Amino acid sequence: MSAVRFTTAAAALLIAAPAALQAETHGMSLPEVGALTYGPRPAFLINQMDDGPLKDELTACLGQTPTQSAFSIGHRGAPLLFPEHTVESNLAAAQMGAGILECDVTFTEDLELVCRHAQNDLHTTTNILATDLADTCVTPFTPADGETPATAECRTSELTLAEFMTLEPKMDAANGAATTVEEYLDGTAAWRTDLYAGDTTLMTHAQSIALFDSFGAGFTPELKAPSVEMPFNGFTQEDYAQKLVDEYKAAGIDPSRVWLQSFNLSDVLYWIENEPEFGAQAVYLDDRYEASDDDEGLIDPMDASTFMPTMQELAEMGVNYLAPPTWMLVTLNDAGEIVPSVYAEEANAAGLTLITWTLERSGPLATGGGWYFQSIAEATDNDGVYFELLDVLAQDVGVVGVFSDWPATTTFYANCKGL
C-alpha cells in the first residue's frame, strides 16, 4: 500500500478487516490523497522572514518535491481552513504530507468513541443548536443581553452515536455577542475561513483509524477528559482508556504506529502498565501552567521549581514522550534570540522525547502571536517567525514532531532539513 494513496490494495485490506471495524466504517468513503502539495503558504512565510542563513536555506528548497514526514503532525487535521476532526480536514493534512494525524477522542451516550476536541464542544463545532437535537444540550442557547455573553453547552454524552452522526460540522467558533442561534453559530475568526466548511463529514474513532491507515499515516489519538462524572453508565475511566487501545487492536494496527495522548497522567500510566506496547509511545500532554489569554498568572519556563512531578520522576514512571505547548520550550536570551528554555533542557536531561503543539494556530503574528508565542512575544513581529520558531524547536530543543493547524509549513521545513 502506498504511503500517500488509497489504492486497490488498501481497499482489500479494509475488506479483510474485522467485522466490527467494517461495521464502524460502513458508508464512509476513503478518499485518495493524490500528489502531495505544499500550496503557497511556505513561500509566503519565507518571504516574510528577516534576511539571514535560514531564509536562504529555506528559499533554496522551494522547488523540492513534497514527501510525507512523521515530523509533521496534523492537529485535528488542518483546521486553519477546514472544520476540525472531519474527513476533509484530515485529507487536506494528508495532502500536505502530515505523517501523523490526530483524532481527539470522547464518547457518546451509548459509549461509542468519536472524534471531538471536547465532550462538550458541539455548540461551537457543529450545527446542533439549529437542529431538533438542541433539546439535548445541557445548557440551552441563551442570547447575549449586553452585559453577559451568549452561552450554550452541548455534549456528545447526551447523544447516541446515530444522533451524533446526523450533525453537520462547522469551524470551531461562536459569536458571544449573538442574540440569535444563527448569529451565535456565525463566529469564525477573520483569519480563518468558512470556504471549506460546507458538506464536511464527522468521524467515529474507528473510522478515523481506517481513514488514516489508508493515507499511510501514523495515529495520535488524545483521550479527552470527560465532561460527565465517571463512571458514566458503568463506564469507568479505565474502561475508556482501554476501549481506545482496543479499537487499534481490532483494526490490526501495529502499536509502533500509534502515539496515545492524554493530559491525565493516570491515563498514560494505565497504558504503560496494562498495554506496554502502546504505553511505550504514550504521550503525556503537559499542561502545568495557569494559562489565560491575557498572559497573566503563567508559570515561568525558566523556573525549574514549577516541575511537578520532575522530569526525572516522569522518566522513572516509564513516561517516554512529553508534549508541552510550544511557548514552554523556548525563551529569549539577552540578545533577543529564540533559545531553548530551562524546561526543554530539563526534559532533554531526563531523556524524555519531546513533541509540541501547536504551530499556525495563532493567526497573523505581527502583534506578538498571542498565547502560543507568549514566551518570545518581543521577538514576534511577522509571520516569518513561524519558521524561526520551528527551526529552534527542531535543531536546538530537539523535538521529534510538531502539531500544526496547517501541516504544509511543518512538512516543508522537515523535507528541507531532511528530518
pLDDT at 23 exceeding the cut of 80: no
**For residue range 270-286, what is the model confidence (pLDDT) as tens digits?**
999 999 999 999 999 99
Taking CB atoms within 8 Å and a gap of at least 24, the contacts of 265-269 are 265/317, 265/319, 266/237, 267/223, 267/237, 267/241, 268/319, 269/317, 269/318, 269/319
pLDDT > 80? residue 294: no
Nearest CA to 216 out of 267, 272, 254, 160 is that of 254
Q: Are 240 and 226 in contact (CB under 8 A)?
A: yes
Dist CA 401 CA 61 (whole Å): 20
- Give buried/exposed letters for 106-130 (b at 16+ CB in 10 A, else e): bbbbebbbbbbbbbbbbbbbbbbbb
Instruction: Please check the confidence at residue 240 and state whether its pLDDT lies above 50.
Output: yes
Name the CATH superfamily housing domain 8-103+203-417. Answer: Phosphatidylinositol (PI) phosphodiesterase (3.20.20.190)
Q: How far apart are CA 259 and CA 103, in angstroms?
A: 11
Q: Rounded distance, CA 143 to CA 297, Å? A: 31
Of 289 and 130, which is predicted with more confidence?
Answer: 130
321-323/218-219 β-pairing: unpaired
pLDDT computed for residue 27 by the predictor: 58
Query: Average pLDDT in the 223-229 region?
Result: 98
Q: Point out which residues pair with 285 in neighbouring strands.
A: 323
Q: What is the pLDDT of residue 10?
A: 33
Query: By 3-state DSSP, what share of the chain in percent is helix, strand and coil, each rounded to 5?
Result: 40, 15, 50
Q: Give the residue carrying C-alpha cell 497573523.
A: 364
Rounded to an integer, the average pLDDT of 30-57 is 97
Distance (Å, whole) CA 82 – CA 90: 9
Whole-angstrom distance, CA of residue 410 vs CA of residue 91: 16
Instruction: Look up cell 446526523; give the residue.
Output: 166
The percentage of residues in the chain with a pLDDT greater than 90, rounded to a whole number, is 86
Tracing cell 512538512 back to the chain, one arrives at 411
More confident residue, 196 or 290: 196
Q: Predicted confidence band at 28 (pLDDT cuts at 50, 70, 90)?
A: confident
Q: How far is CA 352 from CA 274, 282, 318, 319, in A?
A: 21, 12, 10, 8
Kindly list the distances between the CA atom of residue 39 and the CA atoms of 42, 69, 92, 93, 409, in Å, as whole numbers in the listed order. 7, 16, 11, 12, 9
pLDDT tens digit sequence for 344-365:
999 999 999 999 999 999 999 9
Higher pLDDT, 310 or 227: 227
The helix (run of H) or strand (run of E) holding residue 413 is helix 408-417
Neighbours of 66 (CB within 10 A): 21
| pLDDT of 172 higher than 70 | yes
**H, E, C per residue of 305-345:** HHCCCCHHHHHHCCCCEEECEHHHHEEECCCCCEEECHHHH
pLDDT at res. 121 = 98
Distance of CA 247 to the CA centre of its chain: 19
β-strands 139-142, 151-153 pairing: antiparallel
Q: Are the CB atoms for 67 and 96 separated by under 8 Å?
A: no
Under DSSP, is residue 132 helix (H, G, I), strand (E, B) or coil? Answer: helix
- pLDDT of res. 309: 85
Give the integer Cα–Cα distance in Å for 85 and 124.
Answer: 13
Q: Quote the pLDDT of residue 233.
A: 93
Percent of the chain at pLDDT > 70 equals: 89
pTM above 0.85, yes or no: yes
Helices vs. strands in the chain: H and E counts, helices first:
16, 15
Q: Is the pLDDT of residue 20 over 70?
A: no
Q: How big is the CA angle at 84 (ends 75 and 249), to the nearest 5 degrees?
A: 65
Which long-range CB contacts under 8 A does 260-265 form with residues at least 24 apart? 260/220, 260/221, 260/223, 261/102, 261/220, 261/221, 261/222, 261/223, 261/285, 261/323, 262/222, 262/223, 263/225, 263/287, 264/223, 264/225, 264/237, 265/317, 265/319
* The pLDDT of residue 22 is above 60: no
Residue ranges covered by each domain of the chain:
8-103+203-417, 107-200
Beta-sheet pairing, 98-101 with 330-332 = unpaired
